[in-house]
């Protein structure tokens, strides 16, 4: 009978030092990082007044609220809600379109292959960054101060905050475009404008169209919330009903939002598919 071969651990250890004797820094890095993350987490819980009894009291309260939400019931205000939903969809569509129209020329200025001068590109990019750093809700508050309460302020808020996002995304798409076609136009004697129109735009427009459609989708979500600060749409109704504790209406409104977002998802998914084909959808 053969016994399993005796394993000489010492020899194996000596042969593979980087597996068995990893330096302390490599061995301790992960636990240390996890420990630090956990420490900050606990510190945060303490600092933000978390306490178990508050948490569980809140949970039971939440349970009651969810019970009161069933069944969802709009009462007599269904027409008002449908109108508000239409308003929300309008805000999303208009805001995104405005943003895309204004962002296209600016994104050309921020693209490395169109504007080689760093001095010109830098301020444009920082401007776009600062616009993106401010949340849509804050823009909504600012526009309410300018054009008054109502959905128009919402349109402008979405347009401005998306302008920042589009500027960055479009300029990245433009930088990713193939330079050969631009060179071809230049070689045949085209001007700078011709280069952009016939060399760059045909390449980037499908990408841009896909992004715009995607943003219309995600803006339906944003448009539902800007109503909370008074910029029109279904968020206004939702915030009001939550404040007066009409839970059945609240759950109905949330359901309406979910259905609307799912419908927009479906339609824009199909459209994106038609415009840019299967590859780019994923």
Partner 1 sequence: MTIAVAILPEQQLAALNATYRKAVARKRLRLLAGFALFVAALIVASIGAEVNLRTFFTYFGNFVSYFDRLLTLENGQRVWTDFGEWFWGWHKWLKLLGETLLISYVGTLGGAVLAFLLNFLAAENTSPAAWLRFTVRRLLEFARTVPGIVFALIFVIAFGLGPMAGVLAIAIHSTGALGKLFSEIVENADMKPVEGIRSTGASWVACMRFAILPQVSAGYASYALLRFEINVREASVMGFVGAGGIGQELIVAIRKFYYSDVSAILVTIIVTVFLIDITTGWVRGRLFGREART
Nearer Cβ to partner 1 (74/151): 151
Nearer Cβ to partner 1 (152/190): 152
Q: Give me the least distance between CB of 183 and partner 1, in Å please.
A: 26
Q: Give me the least distance between CB of 23 and partner 1, in Å please.
A: 17
Residues of the shown chain interacting with partner 1 in the complex, contacts defined by CB under 8 A: 37, 40-41, 43-45, 47-50, 54-55, 57-59, 61-62, 65, 86-87, 89-91, 93-94, 97, 129-130, 133-135, 137-138, 141-143, 145-148, 150-152, 154-155, 221-222, 224-225, 228-229, 232, 235, 238-239, 242, 245, 250, 254, 257-258, 261-262
As given in the structure block, the two tokens for residue 87 are: 């308003």
Enumerate long-range contacts of 111-119, CB under 8 Å, 24 or more apart.
Answer: 111/170, 111/171, 111/174, 111/175, 112/175, 113/174, 113/175, 113/177, 113/179, 113/182, 114/174, 114/196, 114/200
Nearer Cβ to partner 1 (89/185): 89
Q: Give me the least distance between CB of 14 and partner 1, in Å please.
A: 27
Nearer Cβ to partner 1 (115/228): 228
Residue partners of 6: CB distance under 8 A and separation at least 6? none
CA 146, 97, 169 angle in degrees (round to 5)?
A: 105
Neighbour tally for 90: CB within 10 Å: 16
Nearer Cβ to partner 1 (24/48): 48
Q: Give me the least distance between CB of 281 and partner 1, in Å please.
A: 14
As given in the structure block, the two tokens for residue 89 are: 């969809």
C-alpha distance from residue 276 to each of 40, 179, 181, 262 (Å): 45, 21, 20, 21
Q: Give me the least distance between CB of 180 and partner 1, in Å please.
A: 24
Outline where the chain has alpha helix (H). Answer: 9-15, 17-20, 24-47, 52-68, 78-110, 118-133, 136-147, 151-175, 179-187, 192-194, 201-226, 234-243, 247-281
Q: Give me the least distance between CB of 3 and partner 1, in Å please.
A: 23
Nearer Cβ to partner 1 (29/192): 29
Nearer Cβ to partner 1 (44/123): 44
Q: Give me the least distance between CB of 248 and partner 1, in Å please.
A: 14
Q: How far apart are CA 56 and CA 43, in angstroms?
A: 20
Nearer Cβ to partner 1 (109/205): 205
Q: Give me the least distance between CB of 86 and partner 1, in Å please.
A: 5
As given in the structure block, the two tokens for residue 201 are: 């735009």
């Amino acid at each position: 009978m053969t016994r399993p071969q005796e394993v000489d651990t010492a020899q194996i250890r000596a042969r593979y030092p980087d597996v068995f004797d990893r330096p302390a820094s490599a061995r301790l890095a992960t636990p240390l990082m996890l420990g630090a993350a956990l420490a900050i987490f606990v510190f945060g819980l303490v600092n933000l007044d978390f306490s178990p009894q508050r948490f569980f009291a809140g949970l039971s309260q939440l349970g009651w609220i969810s019970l009161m939400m069933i069944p969802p019931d709009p009462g007599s205000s269904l027409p008002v809600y449908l109108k508000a939903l239409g308003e929300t969809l309008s805000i999303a569509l208009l805001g995104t379109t405005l943003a895309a129209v204004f962002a296209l020329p600016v994104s050309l200025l921020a693209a490395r292959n169109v504007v080689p001068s760093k001095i010109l590109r830098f301020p444009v990019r920082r401007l776009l960054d600062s616009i993106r750093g401010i949340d849509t809700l804050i823009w909504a508050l600012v526009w309410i101060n300018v054009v008054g309460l109502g959905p128009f302020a919402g349109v402008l808020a979405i347009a401005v905050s998306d302008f920042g996002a589009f500027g960055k995304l479009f300029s990245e798409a433009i930088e990713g475009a193939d330079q050969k076609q631009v060179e071809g136009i230049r070689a045949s004697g085209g001007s700078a404008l011709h280069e952009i129109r016939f060399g760059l735009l045909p390449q980037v427009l499908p990408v841009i169209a896909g992004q715009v459609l995607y943003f219309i989708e995600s803006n339906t979500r944003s448009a539902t919330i800007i109503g909370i600060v008074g910029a029109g749409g279904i968020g206004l109704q939702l915030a009001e009903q939550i404040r007066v504790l009409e839970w059945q209406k609240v759950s109905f409104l949330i359901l309406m939002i979910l259905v609307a977002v799912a419908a927009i998802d479906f339609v824009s998914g199909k459209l994106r598919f038609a415009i840019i084909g299967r590859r780019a959808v994923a």
